[in-house]
């Protein structure tokens, strides 16, 4: 059974590129452009892993993370964000994230992290 | 001369020394010596103090203790009056005592029996008093200027002192040689050795203290030690000559006391010297003893009466009877002084007649000592403490005398009047003294001086001095180091017709004397009176000093004021005089001002530090936001570039999409960067506008045309309504277009996604042109309406963001409109969507416009 990954970002270009990259690597990919969409998709498909932006128009990434981690079979969560301050990173982990990656990043680094998170 | 001066100081040794010491020794042993120990110790302090007093006496024309205190405390008549009167009250019994001594010793010598058996007409005391009057007048009232050293007087007193010393020593030596070997004497010595001193605890200190004060405060001592002193050079030798004199004159006191107690156990111990001499040495020696005693008593009477008469006439009689400047008064003043002397001697005789018989020499003497000690705080304070004040001197002296009267005079009055003080309970002076564990004498001394000193210090600190008093205080306290003349001239800013000054001096000093001093003054100062019709400051000061010598400083001041046209002292001069004391005050004020300034500066510093910190934080935040905004497109670019790199055989369709995205992200990046730079320029003020007269109509239409495509692709209907007669504005066309593009672009983005509508309207409002950009989107939350014009406002709500854009557009627009003296805000008169409005001023001609720009 394919690993399911949900991507949440309001930046359309980033969303599309991530979707293309992960699909090519054989994951089953869902995309959401805001927080509420993300919650709905997560409920519907129960992804194994979520790539989550923080700054979004409606529900922010932290709230989405809380929601996901509160679920029965909580997915792994990787924050993908431009917020680069120490405080931000700490806050990300405080909300239960498994990883915090700062944009921009190398595609292969992201893939490696996803792989190791899924295997663990 | 030092020898004469030292001998003159020995006027201290009166009949009391001659007879009373032996009496005291017979009663209570060695304590009689304390009365001499006090002055002997005082001599060590006397030299510097007398030097200062000498200087003050000369520059101020001082001829008594009352003059001294009056002059020191602002030339005050009332203080002089108080001192004169209280001196009289304090010293009168003491003078009576001397009369008593002479008359009693005469009785004993002539074998005529006890005192009190005489009628007035054959009472030797009366004749003694009369003879003393004649002597005193001869010595003391020859010149109206009473502080002129009287050679006759000081010489006579010195001679009398020498005589009484020799008499005492000779009589003592002869007497001792007669009875030294007798059995009675050796018995007496044994008895004496067994005798316990009677003195109450603390009395030795009391006597030491009051005798030290008496040494310079007794009228006769002040007269001899200060007024009659004609040279500072006398002082050094006196420091040891005078104590030596005291030692010698006391050598034979003890043997006579010892012998007397054995031989005449019931007789008056005060006259052992006479009675023993008559018994053992024969009438010739006894006569010598009598003459010694006579000279001791008479010198005391003469000098004391003279000094008191001087004070009494200066402060009591002259101001009331003789202060009229239009009559020759020098004779009258001398006359009053003689009357005063007569009055004092008459009073002394009356006192003697009624009271003195019942008291011993020493006890009455000590009462006077305590009385005179009441002047000590005011005197010493006046000499050494600048803050000492007139009011303080007055009340301290008065309060001290009240205590003195209560303890030492009241019991005598009561005894005379037949009151029973025992019925007074605790208010009985003896009982009250006993509750303190003190003798009457110690209680009187210690309590009066304590109260006196406390009153003096407290009132001095509380009250302020007049200018005159402050000046005198400076003169007295800084003498002799400060040139006294220089300072005193400071106060006498004024002038007087010279003839007035001359006639004043003639009136008070006598014609001849006045001419003599004026001529000498003219010679010394190179003045020709006939060509100097006006007397200046220095002449006036000189004249006042001369007058002061005749009628005292207080009256002299009044007399001089009557002829001098005084000028008001200027503010600067007053300040100058008081500078010394004010300097400290000013320094203090200065210091606290500096402190306040420092405090303010430090607050300022803290404030700007806080501002700087805030600005740094804002800058950091801005920088962080900028980097954050850069990261997002950069991330997209990198991801897509890597995808292209990793997959050379990517389908053409995907490849084209990624490449296009990369290009648009790059555009977004460069737009962001140029916006940041723009904003930086506006905010630092380095952005310049190129202003011209332009029509807003054209600019709006141009902007709308440019954004037509964006509107179409977003499905937004863009409409434009511009008032027909829109007046021109004066603006930078490019910048205003930038604002319009930004605002309309935003409106298109935020318009309702389904049936999007954007209206642009422009019309004239008063003196402004108003432009509104209105969409039918979700609108702007009330709370954000102010914030949206801040750069990256969405950062404040850290996790929310606008759908797109750099977040700098509105901040830049706001800066541009502000530079045009316009206003931009969120209008809330529409229920639907968001409406941003801005105004620009109407064009009013180049020159006016330039003015508002400037």
Q: Which domains does chain B have, with CATH numbers?
A: 2-203+218-357 (1.20.1730.10), 492-569 (no CATH), 574-684 (1.10.287.130), 692-853 (3.30.565.10)
**How high is the pLDDT of residue B849?**
53
pLDDT tens-digit map of B280-320: 888 888 888 888 888 888 888 888 988 998 898 888 888 77
Asked if B624 and A21 come within 8 Å (Cβ–Cβ), the reply is no
Look at A22 and B336; give whichever has higher pLDDT: A22
B775 vs B744: CA distance, rounded Å: 9
Residue B842 per-residue DSSP state? B
**How high is the pLDDT of residue B793?**
59
B635-659 average pLDDT score: 91
If we measure between CA atoms, which residue out of B665, B672, B721 comes closest to residue B696? B721
A-chain residue closest to B802, CA distance? A57
Cite the DSSP H helix spans in B685-808: 696-714, 733-750
Residue B56: left if φ>0, alpha if ψ -120 to 50, beta else—which one?
A: alpha
A59-68 average pLDDT score: 92
Q: Among B420-429, B564-573, B642-651, whose mean pLDDT is lowest?
A: B564-573
The structure's pTM equals: 0.56
B388 vs B378: CA distance, rounded Å: 8
Asked if A14 and B632 come within 8 Å (Cβ–Cβ), the reply is yes
Reported as a pLDDT band with limits 50, 70 and 90, residue B568 is low
Question: What's the CATH superfamily of A4-119?
Answer: Response regulator (3.40.50.2300)
For residue B646, list chain A residues with Cβ-Cβ distance below 8 A.
Answer: 107
**How high is the pLDDT of residue A79?**
95
For residue B628, list chain A residues with Cβ-Cβ distance below 8 A.
Answer: 82-84
pLDDT tens-digit map of B2-23: 788 888 888 888 888 888 888 8
A58 vs A62: CA distance, rounded Å: 12
**How high is the pLDDT of residue B231?**
81
Structural contact between residues B100 and B74, judged by C-beta atoms closer than 8 angstroms: no
Q: Does any CB of chain A come closer than 8 Å to the CB of residue B594?
A: no
Q: Does any CB of chain A come closer than 8 Å to the CB of residue B665?
A: yes
A-chain residue closest to B620, CA distance? A85
**How high is the pLDDT of residue B481?**
53
B761 vs B723: CA distance, rounded Å: 8
**A8, A14, A35, A65: which to substitute to probe chain B, counting the most B Cβ within 10 Å?**
A14
pLDDT tens-digit map of B832-843: 888 899 999 988
Backbone angles phi, psi at A32, to 5 degrees: -135, 140
The minimum CA-CA distance between B638 and chain A, rounded to whole Å, is: 7
Residue B726 per-residue DSSP state? P
CA distances from B553 to B61, B76, B488 (A): 7, 8, 13
Asked if A85 and B624 come within 8 Å (Cβ–Cβ), the reply is yes
B108-117 average pLDDT score: 62
Q: Among B187-201, B423-437, B737-751, whose mean pLDDT is lowest?
A: B187-201
Give strand ranges (E) for B549-652. Answer: 565-566
The minimum CA-CA distance between A119 and chain B, rounded to whole Å, is: 24
Reported as a pLDDT band with limits 50, 70 and 90, residue A14 is very high
Asked if A16 and B657 come within 8 Å (Cβ–Cβ), the reply is yes
**How high is the pLDDT of residue B640?**
93
A29 vs A22: CA distance, rounded Å: 7
HSE at residue B90, side-chain half, CA atoms within 13 A, is 30
**How high is the pLDDT of residue B483?**
42
**How high is the pLDDT of residue B760?**
93
Q: Can you name the residues that pair with B770 across neighbouring β-strands?
A: B763, B839
Reported as a pLDDT band with limits 50, 70 and 90, residue B195 is low
Write down the domain spans for chain A: 4-119
B489-500 average pLDDT score: 65
Residue-wise DSSP of B160-223: HHHHHHHHHHHHHHHHHHHHTTSHHHHHHHHHHHHPPP-PPTTHHHHHHHHHHHHHHHSHHHHI
pLDDT tens-digit map of B708-750: 888 888 889 999 999 888 888 989 998 999 999 989 988 898 8
Q: What is the H or E stretch that residue B823 is in?
A: strand B823-827
Asked if B801 and A105 come within 8 Å (Cβ–Cβ), the reply is no
Asked if A84 and B657 come within 8 Å (Cβ–Cβ), the reply is no
A38-43 average pLDDT score: 93
What average pLDDT is seen over chain B? 81
The minimum CA-CA distance between A62 and chain B, rounded to whole Å, is: 9
Structural contact between residues B527 and B488, judged by C-beta atoms closer than 8 angstroms: no
For chains A and B, what is the number of CB pairs under 8 angstroms?
77
Instruction: Provide ipTM, 2 decimals.
Output: 0.93
B554 vs B73: CA distance, rounded Å: 10
A74 vs A51: CA distance, rounded Å: 13
pLDDT tens-digit map of B117-165: 556 666 777 887 888 888 788 776 666 666 666 667 888 888 889 998 9
What residues of chain A have any CB closer than 8 angstroms to a CB in chain B?
10-11, 13-14, 16-18, 20-21, 24, 54-58, 60-62, 82-85, 102-108
Asked if A55 and B624 come within 8 Å (Cβ–Cβ), the reply is no
Report the percentage of chain B scoring pLDDT > 90.
15
B125 vs B107: CA distance, rounded Å: 10
Structural contact between residues B805 and B746, judged by C-beta atoms closer than 8 angstroms: yes
Q: Does any CB of chain A come closer than 8 Å to the CB of residue B627?
A: yes
The minimum CA-CA distance between A50 and chain B, rounded to whole Å, is: 18
**How high is the pLDDT of residue B853?**
45
Asked if A105 and B638 come within 8 Å (Cβ–Cβ), the reply is yes
CA distances from B767 to B489, B669, B771, B851, B853 (A): 77, 40, 13, 16, 16
What average pLDDT is seen over chain A? 92
Reported as a pLDDT band with limits 50, 70 and 90, residue B581 is very low
Asked if B632 and A103 come within 8 Å (Cβ–Cβ), the reply is yes
């Amino acid at each position: 059974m394919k690993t399911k990954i949900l991507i949440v970002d309001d930046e359309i270009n980033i969303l599309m590129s991530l979707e293309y990259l992960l699909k090519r690597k054989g994951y089953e990919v869902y995309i959401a452009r805001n927080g509420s969409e993300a919650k709905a998709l997560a409920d519907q498909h129960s992804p194994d892993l979520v790539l989550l932006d923080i700054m979004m128009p409606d529900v922010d990434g932290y709230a989405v993370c809380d929601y996901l981690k509160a679920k029965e079979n909580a997915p792994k969560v990787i924050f993908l964000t431009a917020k680069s301050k120490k405080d931000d990173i700490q806050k990300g982990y405080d909300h239960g994230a498994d990883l915090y990656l700062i944009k921009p990043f190398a595609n292969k680094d992201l893939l490696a992290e996803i792989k190791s998170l899924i295997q663990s | 001369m030092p020898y004469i001066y030292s001998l003159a100081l020995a006027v201290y040794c009166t009949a009391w020394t001659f007879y009373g010491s032996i009496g005291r020794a017979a009663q209570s042993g060695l304590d009689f010596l304390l009365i001499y120990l006090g002055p002997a110790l005082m001599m060590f302090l006397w030299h510097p103090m007398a030097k200062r007093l000498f200087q003050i006496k000369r520059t101020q024309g001082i001829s008594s203790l009352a003059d001294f205190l009056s002059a020191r405390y602002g030339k005050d008549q009332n203080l002089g009056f108080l001192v004169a009167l209280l001196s009289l009250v304090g010293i009168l019994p003491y003078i009576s005592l001397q009369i008593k001594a002479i008359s009693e010793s005469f009785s004993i010598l002539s074998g005529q029996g006890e005192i009190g058996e005489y009628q007035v007409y054959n009472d030797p005391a009366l004749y003694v008093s009369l003879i003393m009057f004649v002597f005193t007048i001869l010595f003391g009232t020859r010149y109206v200027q009473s502080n002129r050293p009287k050679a006759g007087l000081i010489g006579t007193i010195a001679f009398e002192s020498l005589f009484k010393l020799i008499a005492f020593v000779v009589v003592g030596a002869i007497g001792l040689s007669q009875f030294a070997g007798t059995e009675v004497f050796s018995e007496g010595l044994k008895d004496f050795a067994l005798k316990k001193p009677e003195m109450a605890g603390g009395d030795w200190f009391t006597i030491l203290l009051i005798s030290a004060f008496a040494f310079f405060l007794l009228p006769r001592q002040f007269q001899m030690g200060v007024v009659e002193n004609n040279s500072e050079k006398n002082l050094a030798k006196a420091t040891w000559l005078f104590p030596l004199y005291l030692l010698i004159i006391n050598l034979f006191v003890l043997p006579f006391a010892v012998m007397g107690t054995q031989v005449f156990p019931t007789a008056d111990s005060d006259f052992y010297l006479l009675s023993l001499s008559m018994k053992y040495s024969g009438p010739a020696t006894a006569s010598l003893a009598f003459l010694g005693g006579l000279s001791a008593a008479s010198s005391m009477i003469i000098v004391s009466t003279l000094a008191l008469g001087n004070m009494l006439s200066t402060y009591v009689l002259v101001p009331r009877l003789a202060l009229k400047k239009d009559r020759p008064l020098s004779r009258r003043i001398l006359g009053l002084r003689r009357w005063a002397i007569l009055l004092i001697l008459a009073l002394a005789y009356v006192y003697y007649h009624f009271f003195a018989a019942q008291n011993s020499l020493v006890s009455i003497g000590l009462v006077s000592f305590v009385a005179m000690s009441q002047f000590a705080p005011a005197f010493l304070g006046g000499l050494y403490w600048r803050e000492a004040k007139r009011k303080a001197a007055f009340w301290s002296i008065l309060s001290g005398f009240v205590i003195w009267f209560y303890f030492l005079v009241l019991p005598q009055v009561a005894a005379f009047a037949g009151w029973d003080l025992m019925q007074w309970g605790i208010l009985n002076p003896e009982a009250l003294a006993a509750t303190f564990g003190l003798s009457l004498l110690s209680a009187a001394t210690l309590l009066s001086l304590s109260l006196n000193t406390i009153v003096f210090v407290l009132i001095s600190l509380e009250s302020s001095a007049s200018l005159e008093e402050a000046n005198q205080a400076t003169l007295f306290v800084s003498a002799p180091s400060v040139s006294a003349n220089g300072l005193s001239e400071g106060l006498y800013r004024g002038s007087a017709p010279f003839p007035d000054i001359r006639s004043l001096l003639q009136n008070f000093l006598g014609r001849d004397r006045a001419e003599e001093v004026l001529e000498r003054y003219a010679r010394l100062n190179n003045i020709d009176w006939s060509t100097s019709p006006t007397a200046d400051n220095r002449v006036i000061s000189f004249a006042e000093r001369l007058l002061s010598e005749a009628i005292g400083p207080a009256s002299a001041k009044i007399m001089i004021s009557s002829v001098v046209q005084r000028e008001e002292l200027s503010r600067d001069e007053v300040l100058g005089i008081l500078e010394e004391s004010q300097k400290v005050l000013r320094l203090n004020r200065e210091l606290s001002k500096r402190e306040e300034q420092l405090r303010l500066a430090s607050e300022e510093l803290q404030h700007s530090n806080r501002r700087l910190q805030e600005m740094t934080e804002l800058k950091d935040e801005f920088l962080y936001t900028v980097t954050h905004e850069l990261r997002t497109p950069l991330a997209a670019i990198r991801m897509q570039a890597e995808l292209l790199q990793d997959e050379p055989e990517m389908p053409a369709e995907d490849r084209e999409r990624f490449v296009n995205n990369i290009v648009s992200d790059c555009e977004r990046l460069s737009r962001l960067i140029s916006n940041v730079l723009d904003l930086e320029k506006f905010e630092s003020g380095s952005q310049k506008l190129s202003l011209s007269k332009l029509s807003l109509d054209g600019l709006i239409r141009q902007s709308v045309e440019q954004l037509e495509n964006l509107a179409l692709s977003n499905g937004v209907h863009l409409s434009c309504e511009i008032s027909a007669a829109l007046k021109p504005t004066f603006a930078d066309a490019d910048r205003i277009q930038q604002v319009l593009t930004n605002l309309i672009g935003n409106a298109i983005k935020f318009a309702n996604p389904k049936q999007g509508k954007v209206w642009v309207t422009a019309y004239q409002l008063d003196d402004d042109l108003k432009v509104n950009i209105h969409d039918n989107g979700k609108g702007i939350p009330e709370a954000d309406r102010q914030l949206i014009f801040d750069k990256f406002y969405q950062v404040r709500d850290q996790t929310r963001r606008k759908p797109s854009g750099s977040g700098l557009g509105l901040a830049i627009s706001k800066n541009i409109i502000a530079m045009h003296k316009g206003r931009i805000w969120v209008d809330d008169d529409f229920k639907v969507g968001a409406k941003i409005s801005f105004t620009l001023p109407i064009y009013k001609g180049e020159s006016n416009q330039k003015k508002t720009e400037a």
